[in-house]
Amino acid sequence: MLPRLPSDVPPGLIDRAAGHIRNLLANDASGHDWWHIWRVWRTARWLAEREGADVAVCELAALLHDVADWKFHGGDIEAGPRVAREWLVAAGADRELADRVAGIVAAVTFKGAGVATPTASLEAACVQDADRLDAIGAIGIARAFAYGGAKGRLMHDPDQTPQHHQDFAAYRGNSGPTVNHFYEKLLLLRDRMQTASGRVLAEQRHAFLERFLEEFHAEWNLGGNP
């Protein structure tokens, strides 16, 4: 059983965090926009309520989990936790709360198919699951192609095989086609859910990924054409 620790979240801090992130990411077109944050926020809260986690801590971490995503900060994996901690302290949170939230932000990141990403608290498990749930299913598919387009990646190239990245450096340096990303990450997420509630949601979304890929490859290979 992952530990659950009580929090002392100042009144209004969650609303201020939401406003800050909405302004920061309002114009993002890579799939890491405000509405991604909004969905993860809502899902993290839903998971926290069902799993018995500290809801307020989960909300703060979900809201701040992409405040400085490494993918848009030169590959710096420490940027997100650092910026989240700095913002919280400046907004009136005590150091203990800021450190807890920053630790969760650090734990959310997927680091490669061959890299385990365990969490140290129930709150971190809820936020990590919430973020990963938004990467699968119909919205996850849309986000994958939005991100690929934003990064100038090919949609699909049958001659480029998916890679099982064994460390974060290899995963971070990857620039393969978007369809490869399904095999390198998205299809792996169902089995890496850490909460019981997250696993239930992941089953349906994972099945949709599989149906999409079956249809995609059939059409790519001219399935059903005369």
pLDDT average, residue stretch 172-180: 91
CATH number for the domain spanning 92: value is 1.10.3210.50
Domain count along the chain: 1
With contact defined as beta carbons under 8 Å apart, do 8 and 94 qualify?
yes
Q: Which domain holds residue 87?
A: 13-220
Per the model's pLDDT, the better-predicted residue between 194 and 71 turns out to be 194
- Tens of pLDDT, residue by residue over 16-75, are 999 999 999 998 988 899 999 999 999 999 999 999 999 999 999 999 998 877 777 677
Q: Does 225 reside within a domain?
A: no
Q: Is residue 84 part of a domain?
A: yes
Q: Classify residue 141: in a domain, yes or no.
A: yes
Q: Is residue 8 part of a domain?
A: no
Residue 3, in any domain of the structure: no
Predicted TM-score (pTM) of this structure: 0.91
Question: Is 77 among the domain residues?
Answer: yes
The 3-state secondary structure of 104-170 reads HHHHHCCCCCCCCCCCCCHHHHHHHHHHHHCCCHHHHHHHHHHHHHHCCCCCCCCCCCCCCCCCHHH
* Confidence (pLDDT) at 10: 81
Q: Residue 2: pLDDT above 70? A: no
